[in-house]
Structure 1
Amino acid sequence: MRRKSHKAPERLYAVRVDAVAAEGKCIVRTEDGVIFVDNPTGGPGVAPGDVVDLRITNKKKQYREAVAEHVHERSTVRTDPFCEHFGTCGGCKWQHIQYDVQLQFKHQQVVDHLTRIGKIALPAIRPILAATPTQYYRNKLEFTCAEGRWMTSSEIGAGREAGAGLIDPRAVGFHVPGRFDKVLPIRHCYLQPDPSNDIRLSVADYAFRTGMSMYNLKVHTGYLRTLIIRTAFPDQVMVTVQVAQDDQEQLTGLMTHLQTSFPQITSLNYIINTKKNDSYQDQDVINWSGKPYIEEQMDAGDGHTLVFRVGPKSFYQTNAQQAHNLYKIARDWAALTGNERVYDLYTGTGTIALFVARQAQHVVGVEYVEASVADARVNAQVNGITNTTFVAGDMRDILTDGFFDQHGRPEVVITDPPRAGMDEAVTRQLLKASPERIVYVSCNTATQARDLGILDELYSVADVQPVDMFPHTHHVENVVVLKKRL
C-alpha cells in the first residue's frame, strides 16, 4: 500500500497583500504567480496593505490559495472590528476594513467584472451609493438551534469539551463557515435592530433552563431547529420557530414564553419540519398569535405609500432602506411616461413591479416561485393597483412568442435575477422581444457582465450605478440601463 505523503505545507513569510479579489478574498502577487488569500475561521483577517505570513493550502495551474497565519504589519486601511465574533462568525468579514475603503473595493469589483467578463463598451461608472446605516440594517435573520456548539481553541485547550459536561453542547447562532454541524453562539449581532438580540438570547436561555433539546445535524435527533426573526417599520416583529417533532407540550411552553416575554411580537408562528434538512418553503406555517404577516412600507412618491405584506416564507429585500434607493434608480432609468408595457422578470413578491406600476400602462411580472406570485397578487390588491399581471413559471419556458402575443411585447424590461443571472435562453428571448430599454438589477456583477455580453448584440450600456446593500461584506448590487441601438 502506498503511504500518504506528510510533506510540510509551503509557507511564505512577510509578504505584502496587494488588493481585494472576488468573493472577498485578497491577492498576493509573487514571481511564481498569484496567490488568493482567504480569511479562515479563527484567523487574523487580511486587508490590502498588510504584511503577512502565508500558509499555502491549495495549488492550481494558474494560481495558489493560502491563509494568513500572522500579521507583521497592519495596513493603513484597517480599523478595529466592532463585533466580538469577528474572525469566527462567517458574517461581516470586512468589518476590519474602513467603510469608505470597502466602497472603493466594491466599485472596482464592478468595473473589473463588466470590463473583463462583459468586454463591452461602457460609460463612466457612477460612484457607488453608500448604505445608511451600516449596522442594524437587516430586517431578517435566521438562526440555527443545534446540538453542535462551536468551541474556541482556548476552550478545547483547557479541556472543557462538551463531552466533559462543562460546556452545554447546544447553541443558538450562526453556522461557522465550512462546518454544517457547528454553530457559533452569538451574544450580540450588529445586523438586525432590537428586539432581535433579546429574542434570540431568551430562546436560548429558555431551552437551557427547561432542558429542551436542539437538533443534531449529524444524527437527526433533537427538537428545536431554527429561529427566524423579521422586523418591519414601524414596530412590527415576526418570529417563526421551526421544530423537528409535533410535541405540543414543548411547543406550547416555548410559544407561551415568547408571547409573554415579548408583547411587541406582532406575528408569532411555528413550523413542524420532520425532514432531515431545515428548508421550510415546502412546509406549512402555523400562526400561533397575531397576524400571519408583517407589513413593510415604501414611499413611492407623489403622495403614495406602498404597503407590502411579508409572510414567514415571503422574499423581501433584507435592507429595506437601501432597497428603496435601488428601486428609485430602476424606475428613473426605466424612463416611463405612462404609455409603456413593462415586463418585470424575476419579480419575486412584485415589489419592483408595484413600485413602477403608477408610471406604466401595464406591468407583467414573471416569477418561478408560485407562492411569491400569490404574495405579489395580494400586494397589488392591498395597494389598489389594477394594472399588473403576475405569472408563475420557469422563465425559460414562459418567454415565448405565444406569451408575447398574449401579454403584448414590452417597451421596457426590468430584470432582477438571482446570483446565477439570466439563463442564456432568456437573454436570447429578450433580444427577440427587443424592448426599447432594459434595466438590469444584479446581485452578482460577474453573471451580469456575462449576460450583458450577449445583449451587446443589440443594446448599448447607457449608465451604471453600483449600490451597497450589505456593508462589511464583499457583496455589491449593480444597476445597468441598456438602450437599443438605432
Structure 2
Amino acid sequence: MAKTAKKKSSPKPPVKPVYDLPVQVGQVVELETTGLNHDGAGVGRYEGYTLFVPGALASERVRVRIEHTKKNFGFAKLLDVVQASPFRVEPACPVFSRCGGCSLQHLAYEEQLRHKQQIVKDNLRRIGGFPVEGEGAVTVHPTIGMTDPWRYRNKAQVPIGEQEGALVGGFYAERSHQIIDIDACLIQHQANDEVVAAVKRIAARLNIQPYDEVRHTGLLRHVVAKVGARTGEVMVVLITTEDFIPQREHLIEAIRREVPAVTSIVQNVNPEKTNVIFGDKTVTLWGSDVIYDYIGPIKFAISARSFYQVNPVQTEILYNKTLEYAGATGTETIIDAYCGIGTISLFLAQKANHVYGVEIVPEAIADANRNAELNGIANVTFAVGAAEEVIPAWKEQGIRPDVIVVDPPRKGCDEALLTTILQMQPERVVYVSCNPSTLARDLKILSDLYELKEVQPVDMFPHTGHVECVILMVRRGAES
C-alpha cells in the first residue's frame, strides 16, 4: 500500500519577545531626570524603567512622549520642561532644536565641563574598575575648557541637497539624513560659513545640480571648507559624483571673487552610493594643494583629506599636556602609534632624542614627512603600517622606547597593540583618547603592568557631548 506523503508544515514566524513594560509607545508621562548620558540626553526613570530624553537636563521635571522601547530602557521626546534645571540656558543658535550638530547648547558652559569630567570618571569606574572617589582614587582633573567656546571649528563638512526645488546645504537633523539648511553655524570659524554660503549661491546661479542620495542623481554632494586659524588661508573642497563640472571656470572665478581669502580650490570625486564623504580621486582646480596652519611653534601642511584637529586652541593645550606627561628631557626614545600627519610626533620631537611615528594610512605618512621637512625637524622617523606589526619590527632592530604615545580612533587601540606595549614595557604610556569608554577598556588591560597616574579631560568640542582626554600611565617600579 502506497504511503501518503506527509504535508510539510510552513515554518512558524519567530515569536517576538513580549516585555511587561510600564510604558507604551505614544504614551505621555511626567518624570524627573537624574543625569545626562554620554550623548547629552537626559536620563530618568518612570516606575523604575529608564528613559533617555534628548533636550532634558539633570534634575528637571519633564513631560515626555514615549518614542521607542526596549527591554531595559526606552527613548522619549521632550514635550515640556515642568521644572527647569538652574543650569538651563537659552541656546544661542536659532536652529539648535532641529540641527543634530550640538547637543548641549542649552546647558551652561561651566556645567558642560563638569558633566564631561563626570562622564570620564563614570567610564573609568564602570568599565575600567578604577577608583575615582575617596582614598587611593585616580586623579581626574577638571575639564580644561575654552575662554570663548564659540567659532572654534576650522573645518566644515556640509552635505548639499535639494528641497522644494531649491539647493540647500547645512547639517543633518539628529538621527536622520534630513538636511537643515543653515547659513551660519556658531561653532564654525566664520570663514567656513562664508565658503559654504558662497558655494551654495554660486552653484544655484550656475545651475549645478545638488546630489539626491535616494535616487543617486545630481553632481554636488558636499562642500568641505578648511581654514588655517593662524594663517587665515582657506581651502574649498567640492565633493562631486563625477569628474565633469559644468561651467567649471566660471565656478572657480566666482569662488575666488566671493571668498577673497581662498588659496586652494580642490575637487574630490565620489561616484559611489555611500555615506562616506570622500572618494579616491582628488584634483586641485586652482591654487595650492594644501593650506598651512600652526599648533604652537609647529607648522603643518593640510591637504584636502588630511586629518587635522578641528579646534586649534584646545589642540595646543592637549599636545602640551601630552608632552608634559611624556616627561621628555632630551634623551628619550618615543614611539607615537597612530601618528597621523605627525602632529603629536613633531610636538614630542621638540624635547625628545628621537621619535618614531607609525600610521596605517600612506597619505598621512607622506604628509608627516612633509611636515617634518617643513619645520626642519630631523629627529623623527615615520613608517607606514599597522602599529602592532611595525613596533615589534622596530624592537627587533634594537629600538627600545622609553615612552609610547597612542592616539587611536574612537574604537580604541587594537588588542594586538596593547599586547605589544605590555611586551615592550616602556617606562611611560601616554594615551590620548576621544572616547572615554574605549579608553577605560584599554587602560584596564594595561593596568596589569602600569599604574594609572592621572587623567586630564580637555573640551575639544564645546556644546557637544564629546570629550577628549590625555592620560599618564607609569610602569610599576619604574619611578616613585
Q: Same fold (TM over 0.5)?
A: yes
**Which of 52-61 and 86-95 deviates more?**
52-61
Instruction: Please say which structure displays the higher CA radius of gyration.
Output: 2
Partner of 1:141: 156
Taking a change above 3 Å as real, the CA distance of residues 407 and 135 of structure 1, as seen in their structure-2 partners, is farther
Offset at 1:10?
Answer: 5.2
Q: Which amino acid aligns with 1:271?
A: N
Q: Which amino acid aligns with 1:94?
A: L
Partner of 2:365: 373
Offset at 1:281?
Answer: 4.8
Partner of 2:95: 85
Taking a change above 3 Å as real, the CA distance of residues 83 and 313 of structure 1, as seen in their structure-2 partners, is same
User: Which consecutive unaligned segments of at least 5 residues does structure 2 have?
Assistant: 1-11, 132-136
Secondary structure at 1:24 match in 2: coil
Offset at 1:169?
Answer: 4.3
Q: Distance in 2 between matches of 1:442 and 1:459?
A: 17
Q: Which amino acid aligns with 2:203?
A: A
**Which of 431-440 and 59-68 deviates more?**
59-68
Q: Is the 8 A contact 2:427 2:475 kept in 1?
A: yes
Structure 1 runs (4+) deviating above 4 angstroms are none
Offset at 1:476?
Answer: 0.5
Counting only pairs closer than 5 Å after superposition, residues 197-236 of structure 1 correspond to structure 2 as 197-232=193-228, 233-236=230-233
Q: Distance in 2 between matches of 1:385 and 1:67?
A: 54
Partner of 1:56: 66
Partner of 2:404: 413
**Which of 450-459 and 207-216 deviates more?**
207-216
Secondary structure at 2:472 match in 1: strand
Partner of 1:395: 387
Offset at 1:243?
Answer: 1.8
Secondary structure at 2:212 match in 1: coil
Partner of 2:445: 454
Counting only pairs closer than 5 Å after superposition, residues 66-465 of structure 1 correspond to structure 2 as 66-121=76-131, 122-147=137-162, 149=163, 162=164, 168-180=165-177, 182-232=178-228, 233-277=230-274, 279=276, 281-299=278-296, 305-400=297-392, 402-406=393-397, 408-465=399-456
Q: Distance in 1 between matches of 2:234 and 2:66?
A: 46
2:35 equivalent to 1:14? no
TM-score (norm 2): 0.90
Q: Is the 8 A contact 1:128 1:468 kept in 2?
A: yes
Q: Distance in 1 between matches of 2:268 and 2:69?
A: 45
Q: Distance in 2 between matches of 1:339 and 1:199?
A: 46
Q: Is the 8 A contact 2:271 2:279 kept in 1?
A: no
Deviations 1:190-211 (A, max 9, x none): 1222222222222222233332
Q: Distance in 2 between matches of 1:457 and 1:25?
A: 34
Partner of 2:460: 469
Q: Distance in 1 between matches of 2:353 and 2:213?
A: 51
Q: Is the 8 A contact 1:11 1:53 kept in 2?
A: no
Q: Which amino acid aligns with 1:371?
A: E
Taking a change above 3 Å as real, the CA distance of residues 8 and 192 of structure 1, as seen in their structure-2 partners, is closer
Secondary structure at 1:130 match in 2: coil
User: Which consecutive unaligned segments of at least 5 residues does structure 1 have?
Assistant: 40-44, 150-161, 163-167, 300-304
Partner of 2:51: 35
Identity among equivalent positions (%) equals 35
Taking a change above 3 Å as real, the CA distance of residues 407 and 237 of structure 1, as seen in their structure-2 partners, is farther
Q: Which amino acid aligns with 2:270?
A: N
Q: Is the 8 A contact 1:146 1:214 kept in 2?
A: yes
Deviations 1:94-146 (A, max 9, x none): 10111011111111001101111111354231111112321100110111111
Q: Is the 8 A contact 1:461 1:483 kept in 2?
A: yes
Q: Distance in 1 between matches of 2:69 and 2:29?
A: 17
Q: Which amino acid aligns with 2:427?
A: E
Secondary structure at 1:198 match in 2: helix
Offset at 1:237?
Answer: 0.8
TM-score (norm 1): 0.89
Q: Is the 8 A contact 1:49 1:77 kept in 2?
A: no
Q: Distance in 2 between matches of 1:79 and 1:131?
A: 18
Offset at 1:417?
Answer: 0.6
Q: Is the 8 A contact 1:48 1:77 kept in 2?
A: no
Q: Distance in 2 between matches of 1:327 and 1:418?
A: 16
Q: Distance in 2 between matches of 1:71 and 1:191?
A: 26
